[in-house]
């Protein structure tokens, strides 16, 4: 299949998908859900202001999830410190997938001199369809709801809240996510909450010893909460994966990797034989490395790639082969973020189910 045909198919998929989701892209407005915990935010803190970038500082960020409601509530607050921040901090941008998610705004306002100025006007919120990977023939259908606030001034607090209702049905009702406890920007307050029905079990892995898990029973549901204050930014080197350094909380209804494997096998059943091609290479410090594997198998489908190092292990996964690769060539780019360490690649194992 040549690239022109692939391009036509991609465009056709875009048109069909756009028609299918047209009815579900409308944004709704409603009151905040009753199951959230509305904590007081201190907008007068100044200790981290000197570390602010782009002219504004993040005051608060929170995510509250209800597994019973298949919904996540988000509230975000930022303070404009300089005139530069008026431009850089006036944009509100929320992404969602209209195929299974509904975006509901609850509030958008500016706090100025302790007074609330309502800025929630649906007519001014634009729906943007950004497909950044089209050149790779990848279409994900994600939409962005974008609002550029007007009449923003130095000293203003911009605060907005919304809910995204609907979890990806491909995971068959199981919830999982990472709650990050540090970002590449400073923030005064981080708050996460998760409501879990009594008949469901969530495994929790805490990767930040400074943050404790507060658990309780509220209205017959298990409630888990995490709080962190005055969080300094973490300077990350280029190409460092977010999961590699940032402290975070992991939650999952998948109790083990066997559960994940069983779920995946239902989606991709196969009784095909597995063959292996092994390659090796030296890795420069902090470098981007391209590894090639050659095999005499037929068409390769969903390769799984494991890269083992003599230092901290980093695993790379590839879910598809782009059209530019031949059936016997696979190119994988991996990033090794540790500076000053000469990694030697021990093995690169490529598993190809035979078509």
- State pLDDT tens for residues 125-167: 999 987 666 666 666 778 999 999 999 999 999 999 999 999 9
Say how many C-beta atoms besides its own lie within 10 A of residue 153's C-beta: 11
Convert the pLDDT of each residue in 68-123 to its tens digit: 999 999 999 999 999 999 999 999 999 999 999 999 999 999 999 999 999 999 99
Computed over every residue of the chain, the mean pLDDT equals 76
Domain 25-261 matching CATH 3.40.50.300: the answer reads: no
Instruction: Provide CB contacts within 8 A for 77, sequence distance 6+.
Output: 41, 43, 58, 59, 60, 61, 157, 158, 159
Instruction: Give the whole-angstrom CA distance, residue 277 versus residue 234.
Output: 38
First vs last Cα of the chain: how many Å apart? 17
Residue 44 in tokens: 């007068």
**pLDDT of 323 over the 80 cut:** no
**pLDDT of 186 over the 90 cut:** yes
Q: When comparing pLDDT for 309 and 104, which is higher? A: 104
Sort strands 102-112 and 91-96 into parallel, antiparallel or unpaired. unpaired
Percent of the chain clearing pLDDT 90 (strictly above): 54
**For the chain, where do the domains classified as CATH 2.60.40.3140 start and end?**
25-261
pLDDT band at 42 (very low <50, low <70, confident <90, very high): very high
Question: For residue 244, what is the enclosing H or E element?
Answer: helix 242-245
- Catalogue the long-range contacts made by 271-277 (C-beta closer than 8 Å, 24 or more residues apart): 272/353, 272/354, 272/355, 273/353, 273/354, 274/351, 274/352, 274/353, 274/354, 275/351, 275/352, 275/354, 276/349, 276/350, 276/351, 276/352, 277/349, 277/350, 277/352
103 SS3 class = strand
pLDDT band at 232 (very low <50, low <70, confident <90, very high): very high
Instruction: Give the whole-angstrom CA distance, residue 261 versus residue 86.
Output: 48
Going from the C-alpha of 47 to that of each of 35, 44, 61, 77, 270, the distances in angstroms are 32, 10, 17, 16, 57
Number of helices (H) and strands (E) in the chain: give both, helices first: 4, 20
**pLDDT of 54 over the 80 cut:** yes
- Over residues 38-46, mean pLDDT: 95
Q: What is the pLDDT of residue 235?
A: 77
pLDDT band at 289 (very low <50, low <70, confident <90, very high): very low
Global pTM value: 0.72
């Amino acid at each position: 299949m040549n690239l022109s045909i692939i391009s036509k198919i991609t465009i056709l998929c875009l048109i069909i998908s756009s028609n299918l989701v047209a009815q579900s892209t409308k944004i709704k407005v409603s009151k905040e859900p009753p199951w959230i915990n509305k904590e007081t935010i201190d907008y007068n803190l100044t200790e981290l202001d000197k570390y602010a970038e782009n002219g504004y500082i993040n005051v608060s960020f929170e995510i509250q999830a209800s597994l019973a409601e298949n919904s996540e509530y988000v509230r975000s607050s930022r303070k404009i410190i300089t005139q530069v921040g008026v431009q850089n901090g006036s944009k509100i941008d929320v992404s969602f997938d209209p195929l299974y998610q509904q975006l509901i705004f609850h509030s958008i306002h500016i706090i100025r001199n302790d007074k609330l100025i309502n800025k929630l006007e649906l007519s001014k919120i634009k729906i943007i369809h950004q497909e950044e990977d089209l050149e790779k023939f990848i279409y994900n259908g994600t939409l962005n709801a974008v609002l550029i606030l007007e009449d923003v001034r130095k000293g203003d607090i911009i605060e907005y809240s919304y809910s995204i209702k609907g979890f990806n049905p491909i995971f068959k009702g199981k919830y999982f996510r990472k709650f990050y406890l540090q970002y590449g920007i400073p923030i005064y307050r981080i708050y996460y909450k998760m409501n879990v029905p009594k008949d469901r079990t969530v495994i929790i892995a805490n990767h930040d010893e400074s943050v404790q898990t507060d658990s309780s029973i509220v209205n017959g549901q298990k409630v888990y909460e995490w709080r962190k204050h005055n969080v300094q930014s973490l300077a990350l080197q280029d190409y460092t994966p977010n999961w590699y350094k940032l402290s975070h909380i992991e939650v999952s209804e998948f109790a083990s990797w066997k559960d994940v494997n069983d779920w995946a096998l239902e989606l991709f059943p196969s009784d095909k034989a597995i063959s292996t091609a092994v390659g090796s290479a030296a890795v420069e410090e902090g470098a981007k490395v391209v590894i090639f594997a050659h095999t005499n198998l037929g068409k390769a489908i969903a390769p799984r790639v494991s890269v083992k190092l003599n230092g901290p292990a980093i695993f790379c996964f590839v879910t598809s082969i782009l059209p530019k690769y031949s059936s016997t060539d696979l190119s994988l780019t991996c990033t090794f973020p540790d500076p000053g360490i000469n990694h030697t690649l021990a093995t690169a194992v490529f598993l190809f189910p035979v078509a």
